[in-house]
Amino acid sequence: MTAGFIEARCGRRYASGWPGRVVVRGQSEARRHLASLDPTHVLSLKAPGLSYLGPRDLAPDRHLVLEFDDVDDPASLAAPTREHVAAARAFADGLPADARLLIHGLQGVSRAPAMAIGLLAGLLPTNEAAAAVRACCSQPPSPNRLLVALFDEELGLSGTLMEACDTRFVPGSGTLRRRGAQASTNFAFDMLKGCEAAVDEAP
Order of strands across the sheet that contains 22-26: 22-26, 101-105, 41-46, 63-67
Residue 137 confidence (pLDDT): 96
Residue 9's pLDDT band (cuts 50, 70, 90): confident
Q: Domains of the chain by range and CATH?
A: 22-175+192-198 (3.90.190.10)
Q: Parallel, antiparallel, or unpaired: how do β-strands 41-46 and 22-26 relate?
A: unpaired
Q: How many CB atoms are located within 10 Å of the residue 106 CB?
A: 18
Average model confidence (pLDDT) for the chain? 86
pLDDT at 179 over 50: no
Q: How many CB atoms are located within 10 Å of the residue 98 CB?
A: 10
Residue 192 confidence (pLDDT): 46
pTM reported for the whole predicted model = 0.84
Residue 3 confidence (pLDDT): 63
pLDDT at 177 over 50: no
Least confident interval from 24-28, 37-41, 96-100, 187-191 = 187-191
- The per-residue pLDDT for range 79-131, each reduced to its tens digit, is 999 999 999 999 999 999 999 999 999 999 999 999 999 999 999 999 999 99
